[in-house]
Amino acid sequence: MTLVDLSDAELATAAQACRAMAYQEGERAKKLENPTTRGPIEAASRRYAELALKLETARKRRTAR
């Protein structure tokens, strides 16, 4: 898998944005009582967190070269 050609700052910004979205979706899910509607929001929160991790890992690999 290849990444879009992003600068170090762009990778950091994208990771930070994904972390913020993961937090926001997680908080939104906590307010929902219905598990049917809460589930997809929790899944989105996890996807944002996973994407942030991938971006952070790509940034670390790039700076380690």
pLDDT score of 26: 97
CA 34/CA 39 separation, integer angstroms: 9
| pLDDT score at 64 | 80
Q: How far apart are CA 49 and CA 62, in angstroms?
A: 20
Q: Which pLDDT does position 61 carry in this prediction? A: 87
pLDDT at 1 over 60: no
Within 13 Å and on the Cβ side, how many CA atoms surround 1?
A: 4
pLDDT in tens, 16-64: 999 999 999 999 999 999 999 999 999 999 999 999 999 999 899 888 8
pTM: 0.86
Distance of alpha carbon 10 from alpha carbon 32, whole angstroms: 33
Give the separation between CA 46 and CA 65, rounded to whole angstroms. Answer: 29
pLDDT at 62: 82
Who's near 26: CB < 8 A, 6+ residues apart? 42, 45
